[in-house]
């Protein structure tokens, strides 16, 4: 009897263990979720109701394109953290608990971020420019960080002397006021907040009108049209400036009040099929917020289809990866924050358009930075030449002087001295001692310097170090004024790229450097660097490009239009181009900026 009882107990235990193992396995695979639940918390009952509706529509369109079986549960996140948290707890308390939650607005996402991590629910933040990350590996954010937008807007505002601000009385509005005051403590003459639900702003606008600002920053959403109307009617003539939530159809209803408004806005692929789908179903173009929601759900569904359901696996599917979707090409860093182009838009003739003023401004700022670097290098190397006049070009004292020059110049690859015969006799840092003894007398900048005994900036030439680079040389004379050789700074191979990439990282543009002989010195596509536009087969089937290239070679600045491959070298597009000249000591490089029509 005992034996029979023992067998029964063992059988029951075996079954329980088997069931336990199967449940544990199912939690790590998609088989647990026949129809996974995704919670979506949007600010329906807030000043951003129209954004929430657009996002809901975009999410439904994303679902219509996918065969992945999921259940979407929409919740109202309200206009404050408390409402968003309540919506999250309602979702987390469901019998079929969501495996992922999507939230919109900075206040909602900031509050939900730690709760989602603590509850083992994957989190996607959209429409959330601010996020205080307290838990790693669980939240991805499709919205660019507020600092990116703030930095870009600050560049535009820097040209104004008297700034006034009208902002929504919420976290978004108050954070913008704080940032602008911090960036322009002497220029901010007035800053007011308002309740978007009441819009009792007459007295505040009257105060702004009295100080006569030259720019009025509107941290506003759908109510911006009403503010613009009232402001213009009472005589405020200031330039209107806004941020991304301001792009609303209401602004176009009365263009006489809103024309000229400049605002920051993400750049996205308006040619993506999503825009056509949305337009066909709802009769209007989607804004950035809808595009962002569409990509968020589309990518999540793709990962669910691959069997990823655990928060850690879903997070790793985004972190450090690039995606191409309705937003265009986006990249998620290791923290899960998205990066993609940003630009200025403007209302022109009653339409939202890309602001063309930004492209000459961007080109000018980049050219100025390059010129400043050339000038600083030139001053440093001139001083070094005077020091070497006393020590000579070889030996330890000269090496120490070269090391000082190298350490002072961030963009230096190395610094060398060259004797009167064109032989390298000293170098810094010490890691490049193998170049000592190399004969570079044939290089064009050395030939020029020996001929003129004047400072020279080289064209892009093949260096003994093995790459195509640029070299700034100054002659060195003995105390008796005898020419004894030269001293140089060889710029790093990525010299132009390191400067240009910082300038264009938030813009949907290409910037390149080309010599007057047609040689590409820098381009975002490395395969083009070193090619000659006038000779290489890659360019010969594009007559409009060749015509523009001839103008670039002949004219120090200008603008044009041509057809060529897009920046990914995939399909033909029409581009507009602007160019200017940078250089030193008679050497000229053309710096060009191109953008698709």
Query: How many C-beta atoms surround the C-beta of residue 515 within 10 A?
Result: 18
Compute the mean pLDDT over every residue in the chain, rounded to the nearest whole number: 90
**If you search the block for the tokens 């002087």, which residue do you land on?**
401
Indicate the pLDDT class of residue 33, thresholds 50, 70 and 90.
low
The bridge status of strand 328-332 relative to strand 322-325 is: antiparallel
Q: Picking from 148-162, 323-337, 462-476, which range would have the lowest pLDDT averaged per residue?
A: 462-476
Q: Rounded to whole angstroms, what are the CA distances from 16 to 10, 23, 165, 249, 341?
A: 10, 11, 66, 61, 55
CATH superfamily, with its number, for domain 362-491? PAS domain (3.30.450.20)
Q: How far apart are CA 521 and CA 542, in angstroms?
A: 20
Confidence bin at 24 (pLDDT 50/70/90): very low
Average pLDDT on 553-561 reads 97
pLDDT level of residue 467 (50, 70, 90 thresholds) = confident
User: How confident is residue 502, by pLDDT bands cut at 50, 70 and 90?
Assistant: confident
DSSP annotation string for 11-34: HHHHHHHHHHHHHHHHTTSGGG-S
**pLDDT given at position 505:** 67
Domain ranges of the chain: 1-29, 30-146+269-341, 147-268+345-357, 362-491, 496-596
CA atoms 287, 289, 292, 294: torsion sign:
negative
CB 220 within 8 A of CB 167: yes
User: Is the pLDDT at 139 greater than 90, yes or no?
Assistant: yes
Question: Per-residue pLDDT tens for 333-382?
Answer: 999 999 887 789 999 999 998 898 889 988 998 999 999 999 999 999 99
Q: How far apart are CA 117 and CA 131, in angstroms?
A: 14
Contact 418, 424 (CB under 8 A): yes
Residue 55 exposed, middle or buried by CB count within 10 Å (0-12, 13-18, 19+): buried
Which of 194-198, 267-271, 391-395, 453-457 shows the lowest per-residue confidence on average (mean pLDDT)?
267-271
Location of structure tokens 């008679």 = 586
Judged by average pLDDT, the poorest of 19-23, 99-103, 119-123, 546-550 is: 19-23
Domains 147-268+345-357 and 496-596 share a fold: no
| Assessment of whether the complete model's pTM goes beyond 0.85 | no
pLDDT in tens, 387-424: 999 999 999 999 999 999 999 999 999 999 999 999 99
Tell me how far apart the alpha carbons of residues 126 and 106 are, in angstroms, rounded to a whole number. Answer: 8
Residue 330 CB neighbour total at 10 angstroms: 23
- Mean pLDDT lowest for which of 25-29, 135-139, 309-313? 25-29
Q: How far apart are CA 64 and CA 61, in angstroms?
A: 5
| Residue 136, φ and ψ in degrees, nearest 5 | -95, 155
Residues 464/386, Cβ–Cβ less than 8 Å: no
11 has pLDDT over 50: no
496-596, CATH topology level: Beta-Lactamase (3.30.450)
Cα–chain center distance at 256? 33
Whether the per-residue pLDDT at 10 is higher than 70: the answer is no
Query: How far is it, in rounded angstroms, from Cα 38 to Cα 121?
Result: 10
Intra-chain end-to-end CA distance of the chain, in Å? 88
Query: With bands split at pLDDT 50, 70 and 90, how would you rate the model's confidence at 23?
Result: very low
Q: Is 593 helix (H, G, I), strand (E, B) or coil?
A: strand
25: pLDDT strictly greater than 70: no
Classified as helix, coil or strand, 405 is helix
* Token output for 558: 């200008």
**CATH number of the structural domain 30-146+269-341:** 3.40.50.2300
Choice between 267 and 139, residue whose per-residue pLDDT is larger: 139
Q: How confident is the model at residue 35 (pLDDT cuts 50, 70, 90)?
A: confident
- pLDDT category, 506, cuts 50, 70, 90? low
Res 570: pLDDT: 86
- Rounded to a whole number of angstroms, the CA Rg of the chain reads 30
Structure tokens at 195: 């309740």
343 vs 54, more confident: 54
Backbone angles phi, psi at 406, to 5 degrees: -60, -45
Q: Mean of the pLDDT values across residues 72-97?
A: 96
9: pLDDT strictly greater than 60 = no
Show the tokens assigned to 380: 């440093």
Model confidence at 14: pLDDT above 70: no
CATH number for 147-268+345-357 (one of 3.20.10.10, 2.60.40.1930, 3.40.50.2300, 3.40.50.300): it is: 3.40.50.2300
């Amino acid at each position: 009897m005992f034996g029979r009882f023992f067998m029964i107990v063992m059988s029951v235990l075996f079954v329980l263990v088997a069931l336990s193992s199967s449940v544990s396995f199912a939690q790590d695979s998609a088989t647990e979720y026949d129809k996974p639940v995704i919670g979506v918390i949007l600010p329906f009952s807030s000043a951003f109701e129209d954004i929430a509706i657009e996002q809901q529509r975009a999410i439904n369109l994303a679902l219509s394109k996918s065969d992945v079986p999921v259940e979407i549960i929409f919740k109202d996140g309200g206009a404050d953290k408390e409402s968003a948290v309540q919506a999250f707890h309602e979702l987390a308390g469901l019998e079929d608990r969501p495996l992922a939650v999507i939230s919109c607005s900075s206040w909602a996402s900031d509050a939900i971020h730690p709760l989602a991590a603590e509850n083992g629910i994957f989190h996607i933040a959209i429409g959330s420019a601010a996020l205080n990350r307290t838990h790693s590996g669980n939240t991805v954010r499709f919205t660019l960080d507020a600092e990116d937008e703030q930095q870009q807007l600050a560049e535009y505002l820097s040209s104004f002397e008297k700034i006034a601000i009208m902002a929504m009385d919420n976290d978004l509005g108050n954070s913008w006021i704080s940032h602008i005051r911090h960036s322009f403590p002497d220029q901010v003459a007035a800053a007011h907040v308002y309740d978007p639900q009441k819009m009792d702003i007459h007295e505040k606008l009257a105060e702004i009108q009295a100080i006569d600002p030259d720019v009025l920053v509107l941290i506003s959403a759908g109510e911006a049209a009403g503010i613009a109307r009232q402001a213009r009617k009472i005589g405020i003539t200031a330039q209107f400036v806004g941020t991304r939530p301001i792009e609303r159809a209401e602004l176009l209803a009365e263009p006489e009040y809103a024309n000229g408004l400049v605002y920051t806005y993400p750049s996205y692929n308006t040619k993506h099929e999503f825009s056509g789908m949305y337009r066909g179903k709802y009769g209007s173009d989607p804004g950035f917020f809808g595009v962002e929601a569409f990509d968020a759900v589309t990518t999540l569904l793709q990962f669910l289809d691959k069997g990823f359901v655990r928060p850690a696996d879903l997070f790793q599917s985004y972190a450090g990866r690039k995606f191409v979707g309705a937003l265009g090409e986006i990249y998620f860093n290791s923290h899960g924050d998205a990066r993609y182009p940003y630009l200025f838009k403007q209302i022109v003739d009653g339409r939202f358009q890309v602001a063309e003023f930004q492209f000459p401004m961007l080109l000018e700022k980049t050219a100025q930075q390059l010129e400043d670097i050339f000038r600083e290098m030139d001053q440093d190397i001139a001083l070094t030449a005077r020091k070497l006049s006393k020590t000579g070009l070889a030996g330890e004292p000269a090496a120490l002087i070269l090391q000082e020059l190298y350490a002072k110049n961030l963009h230096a690859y190395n610094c060398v001295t060259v004797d009167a015969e064109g032989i390298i006799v000293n170098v810094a840092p010490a890691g490049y001692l193998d170049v000592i003894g190399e004969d570079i007398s044939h290089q064009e900048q050395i030939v020029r310097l020996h001929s003129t005994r004047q400072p020279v900036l080289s064209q892009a030439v093949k260096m003994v170090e093995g790459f195509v680079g640029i070299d700034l040389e100054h002659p060195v004379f003995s105390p008796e004024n005898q020419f004894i050789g030269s001293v140089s700074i060889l710029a790093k191979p990525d010299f132009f790229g390191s400067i240009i990439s910082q300038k264009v990282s938030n813009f949907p543009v290409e910037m390149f450097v080309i010599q007057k002989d047609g040689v590409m010195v820098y381009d975002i596509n490395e395969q083009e660097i070193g090619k000659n536009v006038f000779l290489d087969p890659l360019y010969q089937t594009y007559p409009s490009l060749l015509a523009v290239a001839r103008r670039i070679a002949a004219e120090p600045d200008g603008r044009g239009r041509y057809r060529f491959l897009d920046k990914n070298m995939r399909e033909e597009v029409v581009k507009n181009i602007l160019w200017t000249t940078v250089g030193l000591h008679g050497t000229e490089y053309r710096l060009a900026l191109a953008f698709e029509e």
